[in-house]
Structure 1
């Protein structure tokens, strides 16, 4: 459509007007906030106060270094104090057994706070009778008490520590302190009892085990002694078997005898060679060791000395010299004879050593066989001894543990691996309700909520909308606005707001000049089309808006109704907006009655869902004139483009019936995808003047539509209801 422009970018939010609504409605906002604050104060003041107290437990080893058992694996006997171990203790504290003990000790089942079935209110009883709430009596009393107990109890571990906090809340401050202390005491008692039970179980198991093990040790040691007696395994020095020890000694003796024999044979051989060769025997070891030969050698030396002395005074033939020489020769013979004797003794000694060696070898072979048998017997004996030793060590270990466990059982000493380092005290002030914070939060929250509600109302009402910078305006041009009744009393008001300032301006096509330089109007065209053809043109052209101008008054306004119904029958979502002064377009669609419409929407007295109604004779929807004050609605005429944009988004085609209006009056209604139609009953002067006015305003693509030959439906469509 020529001159059609979008209005989406020509509307902006006036922040000043928007936030000024807070100042205009400050009294309402303050009153609502004060009312909400008062209600919060009353509820907080009437609420039952709750008190909270806490007890803190430290998980640690309580065993003294003087009483800790001396075991081989001390690390395994230590309690588990890692993160998982401490978390497990939290679950133990929250266990049902401990809670039942505390409940019975403090008599919680007798308190109405822990039994909802004790004092049921009338409203609760009615809800139970009506089946809207489960009957508390259907649950056993113990379970009801435990459930309420768990809701008020909170047990948790302080992060990155071995501290466990037991927190409890109650309506009674004394009870709020007693319960966590009682839970902590019950936990320590349960921990000690668990250790005592474990210790008692250990002693009960160790006693028969020790008796049985003592028998097994005695039997093992008896087998060792019996086997040693039967096998003749005699033990010598260094706890060694006698045969093995003798074998070692004989081996040493054999080595010594062989060495002695070899030495004797070597000496005899050397002496034999010297004697056979006539050599000197003075250097032989056997000769040197013989006392007789040594004495003979001494006598020989003395004779040689005497001969030498006599030789200085006597000749060699002197009888005395000759006698001495004879004695010297006799000594040499004696020395050789004695050397022969020494040789014989050495040979005899060697033979004796050889005989001794043979005897030792024979004895050694005998001992080897005996030692082999003893080795096998010794292996069996060592196995029996090891079995007896292991049984004895196990028995001693069991007896040590049994004595330690029995002493702890008799003295009843097994400390729990935890201690209470902070007991709960009776709280002086309740933790709930905190009246000042609750009242303050209620006041601030109600102020904020009311401020947001006020801003949203102002925003949705359209009063905070303003033209965007750069939008073109003609301040005196106006568009036709609807009225509620077209009687004489409202005629001045109709004249006051009959036309509103346009929001969107269209660019008119230039008019042609004639030969004299004067502007000439385009040739008049009266090629009107029918209702079906107009509907087809809207559907085929993809139009989003259809603006109908009816210069012949209310009778011609029925043309827009016919076209809207025709398009709706084709399956498109169609809405007709009635902007006539008398409601001529919407009356035949809604029969009779007063419905909220466009004036209510502009006055912010209704929402879209309140003003959109269903046509009683088709699937078309319609927004009638409405029932609000037309003067007040006229003040919000700037919202009309925004309303049309919203309707265009929700519907396929929006048909706007404007009644008798000029070109400047429809500028605010024209947008993207807009087709302009002129409703014509007869081609009279009013129609021709309206067509000329549109051309002068720049709208050359308008279409004349006539309802000739089209019949309106006479019966309503079944199932029609409000949109």
Structure 2
């Protein structure tokens, strides 16, 4: 089992697929959808190919089955009587019920309909409707006659009516049914010829509708003559009623505006104004009462101004009262202090009380002035209220004189409107009836005519293709899932957190530097720089964070630095060890980039190469170094004699020089001299970045726990096996306890879109091109 890190919070260590139950209700569905989309984006090719193969098999099956085409026509059933007749009738028209719809279905499938269509389209000699046609009953009769060696030939009809065989074959191919619970009937007719099937289906529907038209035409003609006479009578009555209304208004001198009498509108307006005036008078009276209540108290007593705030906003917002109250409160404070110090009867205290009395008197004078203003407002509001009441009384008196006349007007207007509305209704019905008489239209109509079917009805193409497509998708998803399970490398941050129980500190993208720039950087290093132990000034891959401050790569390094500074352990992480499970995972580049980023922010930083067997950091940064950390530990050189510095960022580098095979590197890293060296580095530098060996091939990292405050694990994206990293951490429990997190290095950002929905589009390739670097 992996050693869990006690310094990590539960939320940080919890993998994505192990969300707590109390959070699954809100975010579980969203996370599942996100995982499904990522899985489909990653394995879409396997799913598509498998689905295509299965679908192709379904198409081959459809190709081998003989086709049958079915034409469909939909007919809407309606009332045989005209709509206006139904409205004017005392007895309502019975609704179209189930029994009536079933009756209409039988009429459509009757022999009479079949005979009419066969005669109209001359189908008696068509091969599909002969005695040995393709219907099942005809086929069964043909088999019986063939078995008895007594074949019979169809006799030609002596009249225009088709034979029984033709009618039977016709009805075998015909079907009619109700669409759901609606009044729509669907008529289906099957044939080997799609054009003929559509023609017959439409002919069946038209034959049924023609019978409905004949019945409706007769009913419409009878109703039109009755409406004409009724319309003339209603027009005369409506005109007489309207003239009576106008004559009565003229006799009584009644004028209205907007449908209401002028007097009524005036009363409504005065009522509204009176309510507002009464509210204003009540408010002024209440304010005046509060002023009088305050003025009734004696200004000589100190408690007389205690109820000053209850007067209202006029008193509290008065600048004069506010200034007087501030001075009064100041005198109160001084009087209390002097009384405690020299006594209440001292002359100075008595003088202050006299001044306080004067201030109270001044406040009361100002309140009295405000009271007079409030009294004036109250009298003005009362006068306005009385004036409106007088006008309202006059208006009410005038309105009462016209009430009886208005009642008569309303009765006359109501009768005139009723007659005019009835006349308009009958006029509309008459116009519709006149139109229907010349061109009758049946409510039983074709709402969806049949057309030549483009696809065969048997076999069901959609069903077969749907089964093939869904089966292919299911098989493709199964194969893709098996393929995805076999991919045992790190691809996403959530996968890393779930497998290692560590937070993913950052996703570091792939960063590459052209070889030409790297060679140029080494050629430009002069002999003077070597003597002064100065690093090359030309940008290298380890200086990418300085050369590309706005790049995606630099932002990923900033995430690592932020995790180091804000570790949940709440301890100072001064010495940071960078390691990995396997070689060539990019830990050296990460260590150099973190050091360059920290030193660029103004901190003193040193990077130490503790990979004594393979000092790749020293080989890249200081390939000309002759002395290093081993010489300092042995006492052959001092620390200052082996340090190299970057003139651009002031980064200090303590290299490791490999003069030959190092057989006991773990003993060197656990020696007391290196502990003293790191104590000296802690006192001289703000941060000490240590490039450590990998965990799996060597045991050197396990002995560095006393030297390092925290560790950062570097894992290469898409290459490092999950089992390898888990085993490496299991065999190094002391290192696992001090890990603050893992870094997913060399991440292919474009490929990450197939594994995770996170993708930062803010940092584009222009940042890399600007600084002469390339990132994939």
Query: TM-score, normalised on structure 1?
Result: 0.28
Query: TM-score, normalised on structure 2?
Result: 0.26
Q: Which protein shows a greater Rg?
A: 1
